[in-house]
Amino acid sequence: MSFFQNASLPVDSVSLKNLGKSLEDYPLLRLDVFPPGPQPSFTRTEIIGIGFALILWDPNSGSGGVPELKGARSFTYEQLQKYTNNFSETNNIGRGGYGMVYKGSLSNGQLIAIKRAQGGSSQGGFEFKTEIELLSRIHHKNVVGLIGFCFDQSEQMLVYEYIVNGTLKDSLSGLQYLHDHADPPIIHRDVKTNNILLNERLVAKVADFGLSKPLSDADRTYVTTQVKGTMGYMDPEYYMTQQLTEKSDTYSFGVVMLELITARNPIEKGKYIVRKVKEAMNKNKELYDLQEVLDPTIGLSSQLKGFERFVDLALRCVEDMGYQRPTMSEVVKELESIIELMVCTESSSSTSASYEGASIDHNYPYSNDSLLSYNGGSLPPTFHPK
Catalytic residue among 32, 190, 235, 295: 190
Residue closest to 3 by CA, chosen among 70, 52, 71? 52
CA distance linking residue 373 with residue 385, whole number of Å = 18
Instruction: State the number of CA atoms in the 13 A half-sphere of 28 facing the CB.
Output: 7
Going edge to edge, which strands form the sheet with 73-74? 73-74, 146-152, 155-161, 111-117, 99-105, 92-95
Please report, for residues 23, 110, 146, 259, 353, the alpha-carbon distance to residue 314 in angstroms, rounded to integers and kept in the order given: 40, 37, 30, 10, 11
Query: What's the one-letter identity of residue 254?
Result: G
100: Cα separation from own chain's centroid: 17
Q: Which helix (H) or strand (E) holds 317?
A: helix 307-317
- If DSSP codes are grouped into helix, strand and coil, which group holds residue 151? strand
Answer yes or no: are the C-beta atoms of 279 and 354 closer than 8 Å: no
Is 276 one of the annotated binding-site residues? no
Neighbours of 47 (CB within 10 A): 15
Q: Is 377 left (phi over 0), alpha (psi -120 to 50) or beta?
A: left
Contacts of 127 (CB under 8 A, 6+ apart): 98, 210, 211
- If DSSP codes are grouped into helix, strand and coil, which group holds residue 57? coil
CA distance linking residue 138 with residue 177, whole number of Å = 9
CA distance linking residue 151 with residue 316, whole number of Å = 43
Q: Is 190 a catalytic residue?
A: yes
Q: Which helix (H) or strand (E) holds 161?
A: strand 155-161
The annotation places the binding site at 115
The annotation places the binding site for ATP at 115
Residues labelled catalytic:
190
